[in-house]
Structure 1
Amino acid sequence: MPLVPTPFDAVHIGARVVVRYRLGTDPQRPAEGPSMTDATGDLVARTDSAVVVLTRRGEVTIPRDRIVAAKEIPPRPSRRGAPHLAPTVAELQRIAGPSWGAVERDRLGDWELRASAGFTQRGNSVLPVGDPGVPLADAVDRIEEWYAVRGLPAKVALAGPVGFEPADDSLGAELLRRGWTAGDRTLNLTAACDAIAAADPGGPDVRITADLDDTWLAAYSQSRAVIPDVTTTVLGGSPGHLFGSISLGGGLAQKLGLSTPGSRAPRPVAIGRLGLAHGWAGLGALWTDPGFRGRGLGTRITAALAARARADGIHLMHLQVEADNDVAIRVYERLGFARHSNYVYLTAPG
């Protein structure tokens, strides 16, 4: 499993990591012994000079100047089966949460409150996983107050098995009792990066970069309204991210039998984004110019991003798609994604 450099200050305490580090000079170790070793476990502490990893054999303190390479890896699954289907509903919510940024994040016990000036529902909703640390009714009161201060409608992303009903969940029942409305049911799909990369149909080159540039953002702005500074903060707010694009100048467009309206200068006509967190890659912001649809460009970008994630040692992917978008769901399932769970947005009245 390849290791990639990891800035430990960007990895949250509690994340599962593997760290390769140089062994110090040890008079008890034979000269021909190994010079490096790996520590795999939970990151429990870090200082300017060292990190502490809780392994099966106990805590290991690793001086930072001895670290050769490291990476965050997926949490140990609670269920058997294919690795991408093994996480529980709650575990997948924790995994997927950081893959989409937010301007502001706050904690209510284990719950996370996110606000981004109204840009995207994911960036402006509560991730209610775990214990809020207060009685349920008090937790809802605090949520309503927190969003009211920011001039935003209180919103909760409530997850459950595929087809679940919010009223059957204790939090969902409390919100519905208060007059909150449920809508925008969304499917969580998961897959192995290998399967998605293998579905690559071929085609034009895909440019992949870790930086959000103006041309990518200009293409993204054609799919939804953007908010200066806020949008870039959200798109660039994951622990890691990759931005993919296909740009078609006049020559390449003609080669593919396509026409480029207006300028012949290269411009992105298809884009996609991966948010990297907890050893998973979260696919989002997938868009193709209406004049270039039906040519497999979205599939090409998805497969290329999966291949890049796999090359970086990430083997699992997730994405969110509206549950009533039958066309998109069929495309994703043909690629190799499977239905894992649902979530529903509940929004406070007024």
Structure 2
Amino acid sequence: MDFTTGGRLTVRITAADVGKRVSVRRWSEPGAPGGRFTDAVGVLTSWDGGVLCLTRRNGEIVRIPESALAAGKVVPAAPARRRGPAASAAELSRVAARAWPPAESEPLGGWTLRASGGFTRRANSVLPLGDPGLPADEALRRVVRWYAARGLPAYIQVTTGAGDTQEELAAALDARGWIREVSAEVRTAALAPVAEAGPAQGVPAAAGAGSAAPPVRLTRTPGPGWLRRYQRFAGDTPEVRRVLCGGPSVRFAAVPADKPADGAVDGEDPGGAPAAIGRCVVDGRWAGFSAVEVAPEQRRRGLASAVMAALAARALEEGASAAYLQVETDNGPARAFYDRLGFTVHHTYHHWRAPDDGGH
């Protein structure tokens, strides 16, 4: 990146540029012979007390003392993605929230407080799509009290990395001692190619297994075996059912076990679980995928591809044309699998937890 004018490094940003995307170069070893620099790009989220605060696309907060600033400039917003369906982060956040509805919710201005007995952070966190209608500190205290009344930690789900995301909110939470615990990528893709995936695409079939697609059963509700295969399942409670079965049009996929026991229904062994599962919610043009899981001993047989293909084909029949999903940033195998299916990163979201003192 070019910071020079007439061969000299220049700083062309001021505190008036807070909220803009900037590129900065800072001294990493002030006083070192020859000078050593470190570059950073992100949204300038604050400039107070002689310290600049940048929030990167991945949600990382970078603090730079003015004394270490060697150069800086405002840069254009990140270019629009060239693959996948067009959408704003706010649109995808709303669609994803409808696909994973909480058991209980309450508005706080433009924020939505969500609780579901602790079942997943997504269903037990604030969705801040707008202004809370209160000063920041008062709004955060209200959030902490609301969750404490339900015996839950307070989380806020914050997006970064797109044109309409919430880097400034991330920086505000960081400044108040909130803790970023979990990050996930929101990925999108055209739906039709996903429906065409199978054992020959995505994950290769195991040696000797052939290339025939395994049978995939689709149902409107999850059976007991499906729930046993789902790794986040911790008990069949009303809150779990409300979240999993909620949404405009929900379907559950299951690949029957190779040798289901006597009495198995649709491949679900009363004492076991399917070989693979998945879930899809159709909402207008969007098909949202989640809970795609394969038994460890059944992996590399193309079962995940078969589940995705079956759910996508049904979603196409319902009129959907675009796909999205959410995958945690530290789940390398899942990210590689979705890469092969054509999913690209749209933006990232993070769950920020209130400090133990409640932020007071």
Length-normalised TM-score, structure 1 = 0.68
Give the number of the structure whose alpha-carbon radius of gyration is greater: 2
Q: Distance in 2 between matches of 1:130 and 1:299?
A: 37
- Partner residue, 1:216: 226
Q: CA deviation at 1:299?
A: 1.2
Q: Distance in 2 between matches of 1:216 and 1:128?
A: 32
Q: Distance in 2 between matches of 1:346 and 1:207?
A: 37
- The amino acid across from 1:210 in the alignment is R
Q: CA deviation at 1:278?
A: 4.6
Q: Distance in 2 between matches of 1:180 and 1:159?
A: 15
Tell me the SS of whatever aligns to 1:283.
Answer: strand
Distance 1:85 1:264, change over 3 A: closer
- Partner residue, 2:121: 121
Q: Distance in 2 between matches of 1:310 and 1:82?
A: 22
Residue 307 of structure 1 pairs with residue 305 of structure 2: no
Q: Distance in 2 between matches of 1:144 and 1:223?
A: 25
- Partner residue, 1:335: 341
Tell me the SS of whatever aligns to 2:275.
Answer: strand
Q: Deviations over 1:181-211 (max 9, x none)?
A: 0121110011111011122225211111122
- The amino acid across from 2:252 in the alignment is F
How many pairs align? 259
- Partner residue, 2:190: 192
Matches within 5 A, 1:127-146: 127-146=127-146
Matches within 5 A, 1:48-59: none
State the percentage of identical aligned residues: 40
**Aligned residue among 174, 177, 180 for 1:179:** 177
Structure 2 unaligned blocks of 5 or more: 1-78, 200-211, 261-266
Q: CA deviation at 1:135?
A: 2.7
Distance 1:267 1:328, change over 3 A: closer
Residue 321 of structure 1 pairs with residue 327 of structure 2: yes
Q: Distance in 2 between matches of 1:90 and 1:316?
A: 16
- The amino acid across from 2:354 in the alignment is A
Larger deviation, residues 80-89 vs 323-332:
80-89
- Partner residue, 2:297: 291
- The amino acid across from 1:248 in the alignment is A
Residue 247 of structure 1 pairs with residue 253 of structure 2: no
Larger deviation, residues 129-138 vs 172-181:
129-138
Larger deviation, residues 128-137 vs 235-244:
128-137
- Partner residue, 2:147: 147
Query: Contact conserved, 2:115 with 2:125, CA < 8 A, in 1?
Result: yes
Q: Distance in 2 between matches of 1:183 and 1:127?
A: 16
Q: Distance in 1 between matches of 2:139 and 2:335?
A: 35
Q: CA deviation at 1:165?
A: 11
Residue 344 of structure 1 pairs with residue 350 of structure 2: yes
Length-normalised TM-score, structure 2 = 0.66
Q: CA deviation at 1:324?
A: 1.9
Q: Distance in 1 between matches of 2:342 and 2:186?
A: 13
- Partner residue, 2:244: 235
Q: CA deviation at 1:219?
A: 2.5
Q: Distance in 2 between matches of 1:165 and 1:89?
A: 6
- The amino acid across from 2:248 in the alignment is P
Q: CA deviation at 1:287?
A: 1.1
Query: Contact conserved, 1:123 with 1:234, CA < 8 A, in 2?
Result: yes
Matches within 5 A, 1:14-93: 84-93=84-93
Q: CA deviation at 1:244?
A: 0.4
- Partner residue, 1:70: none
- The amino acid across from 1:233 in the alignment is R
Q: Distance in 2 between matches of 1:152 and 1:231?
A: 16
Q: Distance in 1 between matches of 2:316 and 2:253?
A: 15
Q: Distance in 1 between matches of 2:327 and 2:345?
A: 10
Query: Contact conserved, 2:228 with 2:272, CA < 8 A, in 1?
Result: no
Q: CA deviation at 1:137?
A: 2.6
- Partner residue, 1:158: 158
Q: Distance in 2 between matches of 1:210 and 1:112?
A: 27
Query: Contact conserved, 1:247 with 1:266, CA < 8 A, in 2?
Result: no
Tell me the SS of whatever aligns to 1:250.
Answer: coil
Residue 280 of structure 1 pairs with residue 286 of structure 2: yes
Tell me the SS of whatever aligns to 1:268.
Answer: coil
Q: Distance in 2 between matches of 1:210 and 1:148?
A: 34
Query: Contact conserved, 2:227 with 2:233, CA < 8 A, in 1?
Result: no
Q: Distance in 1 between matches of 2:313 and 2:145?
A: 44
Query: Contact conserved, 2:153 with 2:353, CA < 8 A, in 1?
Result: yes
Distance 1:348 1:300, change over 3 A: same
Query: Contact conserved, 1:272 with 1:283, CA < 8 A, in 2?
Result: yes
Query: Contact conserved, 1:223 with 1:287, CA < 8 A, in 2?
Result: no
Q: Distance in 1 between matches of 2:81 and 2:191?
A: 16
Q: CA deviation at 1:271?
A: 0.4
Q: Distance in 2 between matches of 1:134 and 1:266?
A: 50
Q: Distance in 1 between matches of 2:184 and 2:253?
A: 24
RMSD: 2.8
Structure 1 unaligned blocks of 5 or more: 1-78, 252-259
Q: Deviations over 1:45-73 (max 9, x none)?
A: xxxxxxxxxxxxxxxxxxxxxxxxxxxxx
